[in-house]
Structures are given as structure tokens and as C-alpha cells.
Amino acid sequence: MLNLYYWEADGLMTAAFGCKHGKFGLAFPLSDNKVQKDMDKKKLVASVSETMDAILHHGVDILDSKKNIDLKKLNDAEARKFALDPTWKEQVANFYARLQVKEVTKQGAKTLELI
């Protein structure tokens, strides 16, 4: 299984993951409105899972000097994979099938060395 971790603390909702290339994540402010909070959580998890997908499939070649995803490099890498790898769609589908979102506490995130 591939684990993406989610936690809420200090007025923020955070999703993050760690891999051999580093630690990556994103945080949004928590909303008092339950509906807005649920929508924000879905957006946050989707964004971080797309980042995880890109980094695990393409490695550090798509990152710039600040460890941010360079969209031009990502688009080029995706185009190469799509054109040259007949199993590319299956690999991406397999990634999302294996992805799990695990809710942890802030202390749990520290224990996992995500913060």
C-alpha cells in the first residue's frame, strides 16, 4: 500500500507523504463550516496524491532546484511515458488503487518524520 497521511492541528489541515526523494505535503486553513471543510479536504488530498503520483512515477527529474514540481518537465515526462510505455495507463490506475489516506495526529506525523 501507498500511504498518504492527513492530520488537523493548529488551524490547518495537512496532507503529506515521504519517499526516498524527500517529504512533500500541503496545508489548507481549517474551515468552521463542515461542508467547506469536507470539500477542502478532498481538494487537499487530491492535490497531494497527484504530487505523489508524479514523484513516484518520474522521480527527481521533474523537480526544480527548490524541490517543487516543474510543470514543463512533468508534461514532457508524462508525454514520453504515454507515448512509449504501453502499460502506462495501467500503472497509473494501479497507483490510485493502492493509495490509502491515513488520518494521524500531529504527534503521529512527527513520529513519521513528516514534520
The stretch 12-35 carries a mean pLDDT of: 92
Provide the pLDDT for residue 22: 83
* pTM summary value: 0.86
Provide the pLDDT for residue 103: 94
Residue 21 reports pLDDT greater than 80: no
**How far apart, in Å, are the Cα atoms of 52 and each of 6, 17, 30?**
14, 7, 22
For residue 69, what are the β-bridge partners?
63
Q: What is the mean pLDDT of the chain?
A: 91
3-class SS of residue 82: helix
Provide the pLDDT for residue 15: 96
| pLDDT per position as a tens digit, 63-96 | 999 888 999 999 999 999 888 989 988 998 999 9
Which residue ranges make up each domain of the chain?
A: 2-111
